[in-house]
Amino acid sequence: MPTPRIVRKRAEMRDLIVTNRALGRRIGFIPTMGSLHLGHTSLIDRAASECDDVVTSIFVNPIQFGPNEDYEKYPRDLHADVHLLSQHGVRWVFAPDVQEMFPPGDSTRVEVSGPAKPYEGTLRPSHFSGVATIVLRLLQSAPAHNIYFGAKDWQQILVIRQMVRDLGIDIEVVTCPTVRDQDGLAMSSRNAYLSATERKRALVIYSSLRQAEKLWCSGVAINRIEQELKKMLSAQEIQIEYADIVDAKSLLKMHKNNPNASVIILIACRVGSTRLIDNLLLPSQTLSSC
Amino acid sequence: MPTPRIVRKRAEMRDLIVTNRALGRRIGFIPTMGSLHLGHTSLIDRAASECDDVVTSIFVNPIQFGPNEDYEKYPRDLHADVHLLSQHGVRWVFAPDVQEMFPPGDSTRVEVSGPAKPYEGTLRPSHFSGVATIVLRLLQSAPAHNIYFGAKDWQQILVIRQMVRDLGIDIEVVTCPTVRDQDGLAMSSRNAYLSATERKRALVIYSSLRQAEKLWCSGVAINRIEQELKKMLSAQEIQIEYADIVDAKSLLKMHKNNPNASVIILIACRVGSTRLIDNLLLPSQTLSSC
């Protein structure tokens, strides 16, 4: 497949998309922070199957990191990323520098309340404002038909959907399944921070999610399931930030099983100094899927 | 001229603009809160002279009014507005209801700091967030080539320009001169609130601006000019909120004449209970325009 064209400027990116839309081509967009893995390529493959052209952005967005987070050490390797993208038929890689996306004197932010408030919104107070702000900017430069996100960042998807709906942005938000390593660990660029023993301990995140799903299907009460989840994580010395069973749309805590709600388990934790998140949508208890 | 088509839904409005852009037509957009006057029609006439199609929105935006402001009593007369617009060749009138622009559960806001902070930003704390949020939403529904604003709302234009630049929105912001009644009063929908005697007293706003301009051209020091301005306004029992000579781009106070700066006088005041704003760009002292 041909090497993707690397685009550095917002205006050039926009012209390419607008020109190709006018030719009747359907465009799929995958925003990333680079350090690409099979989770990203699954989004790209999905976009390629639904669209004529795929554009991927690679931009480590400074404003979605908190002051004590890993912005500086976040892994960056544009060369390897572009090589991987060339194998998946990506046409354009939008890789602006920080000044291009945040020009001097920059002073505009998007604030989403609602789904951005609990969980990550509490623990990382400026995170979702940073995410919403960059996605809105990227969409001005890459006004695609579809934008693709992975289900691992569940709350992020709710925030983006809220922003898209409220502002009336003309784009389809597509949620794709979490991609896991063979041992169950959800793909994440931050997995690179884990030592070999930390990585082994981290496997309990997914196994505890699956154990919780079993209990759920046997009709065990929600608070009992949460207790079991936390016990399993703690036994591997995982530091829990949250491990809750919530309504998948409102993110409100479920206190009773409600057969009509879509329900999800959300986990955020630290393994050593590495922060990981994961989640599992629970099957409906009324269907045979349990 | 044909009667404009009234459009109530965001998706329909967007389809009309996108379809006509694809046909190669250049679109000019004038966002308004209705209660149209010669200030608005001057923007429309300018747009009509530069574009193939003109779209005007009429939407009294609740979130740009403070809790004790005049949202409820703000003048509304869609029928008269559409009649006026039909005489100026407007093709589409976008007149959504509040629920269409702010659906239930709405929770997305745009926050601009920088030029939105002083003056109106201090006196009307949520005003510019409301303005930026609605303009961004309107632009999703009416993605025109050009958007037109009147210079009377000087700070508003700075805020919109900042947002457009920061987010990378593909639109040209066009500033048009303030339109005044023959007696000098700047056109404003809120002039309708003034009694006959208040209206007479309000004329000092413009005459004080012109007097200040004369002093400026004679080289009088800025703080002396401001004193004179305030004296003139107070003599007509005008309650001054601000009457300052500032850098027209940064809105920072000018303490010394700087021949390279673009300089503006900004006034906000109350005549009776009616709040009015006005401004005057000062001529360069180095040119013969003084």
Q: Does A112 touch chain B (CB under 8 A)?
A: yes
Catalytic residue among B37, B40, B145, B255: B40
β-pair type (A274-281, A146-150)? unpaired
DSSP E strands: which ranges in B33-169? 53-58, 92-94, 108-112, 146-150
- What average pLDDT does range B37-45 have in this prediction? 98
pLDDT of residue B288: 66
Spatial distance between the Cα atoms of A124 and A63, rounded to a whole number of angstroms: 11
Spatial distance between the Cα atoms of B213 and B282, rounded to a whole number of angstroms: 6
- Under 8 Å between Cβ of A191 and A185: yes
Q: How confident is the model at residue A290 (pLDDT cuts 50, 70, 90)?
A: confident
pLDDT of residue B123: 97
Which among B10, B106, B110 is the nearest to A108, CB-wise? B110
pLDDT of residue B191: 96
pLDDT of residue B260: 77
Neighboring chain B residues of A170 at a CB cutoff of 8 Å: 14, 18, 140
Q: Does B167 touch chain A (CB under 8 A)?
A: yes
Query: What fold does the segment set A5-176 form as a domain?
Result: Rossmann fold (3.40.50)
Which among A10, A106, A114 is the nearest to B105, CB-wise? A114
For A26, the token pair is: 């359907």
For A75, the token pair is: 């892994």
> Does B157 have pLDDT greater than 90?
yes
CA distances from A27 to A7, A45, A90, A146, B51 (A): 16, 13, 11, 7, 28
Spatial distance between the Cα atoms of A149 and A177, rounded to a whole number of angstroms: 9
Spatial distance between the Cα atoms of A251 and B194, rounded to a whole number of angstroms: 50
Whether B5-176 shares its CATH topology with B189-281 is answered: no
> Per-residue DSSP letters for B26-62?
-EEEEEE-S---HHHHHHHHHHHHH-SEEEEEE---G
What is the distance in angstroms between the Cα of B93 and the nearest Cα belonging to chain A?
18
Give residue for tokens 């989640």.
A279
Q: Does A107 touch chain B (CB under 8 A)?
A: yes
Give residue for tokens 């002396």.
B224
pLDDT of residue B205: 98
> Does A264 have pLDDT greater than 70?
yes
> Does A37 have pLDDT greater than 80?
yes
Q: How confident is the model at residue A58 (pLDDT cuts 50, 70, 90)?
A: very high
For B147, the token pair is: 């958007």
- Under 8 Å between Cβ of B224 and B246: no
Three-state secondary structure of B256-283: CCCCCCCEEEEEEEEECCEEEEEEEECC
> Does B287 have pLDDT greater than 90?
no
One-letter amino acid for residue A270 of the chain = R
- What average pLDDT does range A260-289 have in this prediction? 91
What is the distance in angstroms between the Cα of A174 and the nearest Cα belonging to chain B?
19
What is the distance in angstroms between the Cα of B80 and the nearest Cα belonging to chain A?
28
Give residue for tokens 């029928």.
B79
Neighboring chain B residues of A169 at a CB cutoff of 8 Å: 140
pLDDT of residue B165: 98
Give residue for tokens 């208040």.
B198
Q: How confident is the model at residue B2 (pLDDT cuts 50, 70, 90)?
A: confident
β-pair type (A53-58, A92-94)? parallel
Annotated active-site residue B127? The verdict is no
- Under 8 Å between Cβ of A45 and A108: no
**Residues A86, A278, A220, CA angle at the centre, nearest 5°?**
145
- What average pLDDT does range B33-38 have in this prediction? 97
Total Cβ atoms within 10 A of residue B251: 21
Q: Does A24 touch chain B (CB under 8 A)?
A: no
> Does B152 have pLDDT greater than 70?
yes
pLDDT of residue A255: 75
| Domain A189-281 belongs in CATH node 3.30.1300.10 | yes
Q: What separation, in Å, do the N-terminal and C-terminal C-alpha atoms of chain B show?
A: 42
Residue among A14, A99, A107 with most chain B CBs within 10 A, to mutate: A107
Percentage of chain B beyond pLDDT 90 is 94
Spatial distance between the Cα atoms of B51 and B265, rounded to a whole number of angstroms: 32
What is the distance in angstroms between the Cα of A252 and the nearest Cα belonging to chain B?
15
Give B93-129 pLDDT, tens digit per residue.
999 999 999 999 999 999 999 999 999 999 999 999 9
Give A120-138 pLDDT, tens digit per residue.
999 999 999 999 999 999 9
pLDDT of residue B284: 85
Give residue for tokens 């579809």.
A146
Give A83-114 pLDDT, tens digit per residue.
999 999 999 999 999 999 999 999 999 999 99
Percentage of chain A beyond pLDDT 70 is 99
**Cβ–Cβ of B14/A168 closer than 8 Å?**
yes
Q: Does B93 touch chain A (CB under 8 A)?
A: no
Side-chain half-sphere exposure of B208, counting CA atoms within 13 A: 30
What distance lies between CA A205 and its chain's CA centroid? 17
- Under 8 Å between Cβ of A112 and B108: yes
Number of CB pairs < 8 Å for A and B?
82
Q: How confident is the model at residue B1 (pLDDT cuts 50, 70, 90)?
A: confident
Burial class of residue B62 in the structure, from the number of CB atoms within 10 Å of its CB (0-12 exposed, 13-18 middle, 19+ buried): middle
Show me where the domains of chain A are located.
5-176, 189-281
Burial class of residue B81 in the structure, from the number of CB atoms within 10 Å of its CB (0-12 exposed, 13-18 middle, 19+ buried): buried
β-pair type (A263-271, A274-281)? antiparallel
- What average pLDDT does range B48-56 have in this prediction? 98
Spatial distance between the Cα atoms of B6 and B230, rounded to a whole number of angstroms: 45
Sign of CA dihedral A206, A207, A212, A218: positive
Give B248-269 pLDDT, tens digit per residue.
999 999 877 777 789 999 999 9
pLDDT of residue A285: 77
- What average pLDDT does range B42-64 have in this prediction? 98
For the entire predicted model, the pTM comes to: 0.95
Catalytic residue among A37, A40, A88, A145: A40
Q: Does B137 touch chain A (CB under 8 A)?
A: yes
Spatial distance between the Cα atoms of B128 and A183, rounded to a whole number of angstroms: 51
Which among A103, A112, A166 is the nearest to B165, CB-wise? A103
For B232, the token pair is: 């003139």
> Does B51 have pLDDT greater than 80?
yes
Instruction: Give the residue from B188, B146, B192, B153 showing the smallest Cα distance to B169.
Output: B146
- What average pLDDT does range A210-226 have in this prediction? 95
pLDDT of residue A288: 65
The ipTM of this complex is: 0.93
Spatial distance between the Cα atoms of B42 and B83, rounded to a whole number of angstroms: 16
Give residue for tokens 């969409």.
A139
> Does B185 have pLDDT greater than 90?
yes
Q: How many residues does chain B have?
A: 290
